[in-house]
Structure 1
Amino acid sequence: MNASTGTRQETTVLTGRPVSPGVAHGPAFPRFGQLDRIGPERLAEDQIQAELGRLDSVARAARVSLMRQRESLGQQFTPEQRQVFDTHLKMLEDPVIEADVRDRITKERLRLEDAVKEVYQVYERLFRVVQSEALRSKMSDLRDVALRYLRHCERAEDEDRNRPGDRRGSVMLVRELSLSHLTEALELGVAAIVAEEGSEDSHGAILTQASGLPAVIGVAGLRERAGEGDRILVDAHAGQVLIHPSDEAIAAAMNRGVAEDAPRLRPPVLADGETVRLASAVASVREERVAVRLGIEEVGLYRTELPVIQRQGSPKEAPLVNLYRQVVNNAASVVFRLPDMDSSVDLPEIFPDPERNPALGMRGCRLLFARPEFMRVQLRAILRGGGERPAFVAAPFVTGPSDLERVREAAETVRQELRLAGHDVPHPVRVGAVIETPAAALLGRELLRAADFALVGLDALAQYLLAADRAHPNREVSGLLEDLPPVLLRAVRKLATIADALETPLSVYGGLLLRERALELLVGAGVRSFVLPPSGLAEAAERLDGLDPEEWAGAADRACAAV
Structure 2
Amino acid sequence: MKKYLGKGVYGAVAIGKISVFKKCDAAVTRIHVEDTEKEKQRVKAAKELAAKQLTEIHEKALREVGETHAQIFEIHLMMLDDDDYNESIENIIDTQSVNAEYAVALTSDNFAGMFSSMDDAYMQARAADVRDISNRIIANLTGADTDSTTADEKSIVCADDLAPSETVSLDKDKVLAFVTAHGSSNSHTAILARNMNIPAVIGVGDSFLSEINEGDTAIVDGFTGEIIVSPDEQTLKAYTEKQKRDEEQKKLLQELKGKENITLDGTKINVFANISGIDNIGAVLLNDAGGIGLFRSEFLYLENSDFPTEEQQFHAYKRVLESMAGKKVIIRTLDIGADKQVDYFGLKKEENPALGLRAIRICLTRPEIFRTQLRALFRASVYGNLGIMFPMITSVSEVERIKAICEEVKAELKSEGIEYSDKTEIGIMIETPAAAIISDRLAPMVDFFSVGTNDLTQYTLACDRQNPDAEEFVDTHHEAILRLIEMSAQNAHKNGVWIGICGELAADTTLTETFLRMGIDELSVSPTFVLKVRDAVRKTDLSK
**TM-score under structure 2 normalisation?**
0.58
**2:288 is the counterpart of 1:288:** no
**2:420 is the counterpart of 1:431:** no
Match of 1:24 in 2: 13
Match of 1:67 in 2: none
Match of 1:146 in 2: none
Distance 1:256-1:509 versus aligned 2 partners, 3 A rule? same
**2:519 is the counterpart of 1:526:** yes
| Runs of at least 5 residues in structure 2 that lack an aligned partner in the other structure | 1-6, 17-111, 125-155, 159-177, 202-216, 225-233
**What's the CA shift for 1:533?**
1.6
Distance 1:20-1:435 versus aligned 2 partners, 3 A rule? farther
CA distance in 2 between counterparts of 1:525 and 1:298 reads 22
**2:261 is the counterpart of 1:274:** no
Q: Secondary structure at the match of 2:468?
A: coil
Match of 2:108 in 1: none
Q: Secondary structure at the match of 1:423?
A: coil
CA distance in 2 between counterparts of 1:463 and 1:81 reads 36
CA distance in 2 between counterparts of 1:377 and 1:498 reads 32
Q: Secondary structure at the match of 1:245?
A: helix
Counterpart amino acid of residue 512 in structure 2: L
Match of 1:307 in 2: 300
CA distance in 2 between counterparts of 1:291 and 1:262 reads 17
Distance 1:252-1:296 versus aligned 2 partners, 3 A rule? same
Match of 2:504 in 1: 511
Distance 1:373-1:429 versus aligned 2 partners, 3 A rule? farther
| C-alpha RMSD over aligned residues | 4.2
Distance 1:502-1:21 versus aligned 2 partners, 3 A rule? farther
Identify the match of residue 435 of structure 2 among 414, 432, 440: 440
Match of 1:379 in 2: 374
Counterpart amino acid of residue 366 in structure 2: R
Match of 1:415 in 2: 410
Contact 2:294 2:329 in 1 (8 A): yes
**What's the CA shift for 1:363?**
0.7
CA distance in 2 between counterparts of 1:19 and 1:431 reads 35
Contact 1:22 1:257 in 2 (8 A): no
**What's the CA shift for 1:24?**
2.8
Match of 2:223 in 1: 236
Match of 1:153 in 2: none
**TM-score under structure 1 normalisation?**
0.56
CA distance in 1 between counterparts of 2:350 and 2:329 reads 33
| Runs of at least 5 residues in structure 1 that lack an aligned partner in the other structure | 1-17, 28-70, 84-166, 170-184, 191-203, 216-229, 552-563
Alignment of 1:357-368 (within 5 A): 357-368=352-363
Counterpart amino acid of residue 532 in structure 1: V
Distance 1:529-1:343 versus aligned 2 partners, 3 A rule? closer
Alignment of 1:3-82 (within 5 A): 20-25=9-14, 80=121
CA distance in 2 between counterparts of 1:376 and 1:287 reads 26
CA distance in 2 between counterparts of 1:511 and 1:353 reads 29
Distance 1:442-1:346 versus aligned 2 partners, 3 A rule? closer
CA distance in 1 between counterparts of 2:524 and 2:476 reads 18
Contact 2:506 2:524 in 1 (8 A): no
Alignment of 1:124-523 (within 5 A): 188=181, 234=221, 236=223, 244-245=237-238, 247-254=240-247, 264-331=257-324, 332-342=327-337, 344-387=339-382, 391-427=386-422, 429-474=424-469, 477-481=470-474, 483-515=476-508, 517-523=510-516
Distance 1:480-1:449 versus aligned 2 partners, 3 A rule? farther
Match of 1:108 in 2: none
CA distance in 2 between counterparts of 1:417 and 1:498 reads 34
CA distance in 2 between counterparts of 1:333 and 1:285 reads 15
**What's the CA shift for 1:390?**
6.1
Deviations 1:286-314 (A, max 9, x none): 32232223332421111101111122340
CA distance in 1 between counterparts of 2:517 and 2:376 reads 39
Q: Secondary structure at the match of 1:494?
A: helix
Computing the radius of gyration over CA atoms, which structure comes out larger, 1 or 2?
2
**What's the CA shift for 1:189?**
7.7
Distance 1:484-1:435 versus aligned 2 partners, 3 A rule? same
Q: Secondary structure at the match of 2:267?
A: coil
Q: Secondary structure at the match of 1:454?
A: strand
Distance 1:19-1:490 versus aligned 2 partners, 3 A rule? farther
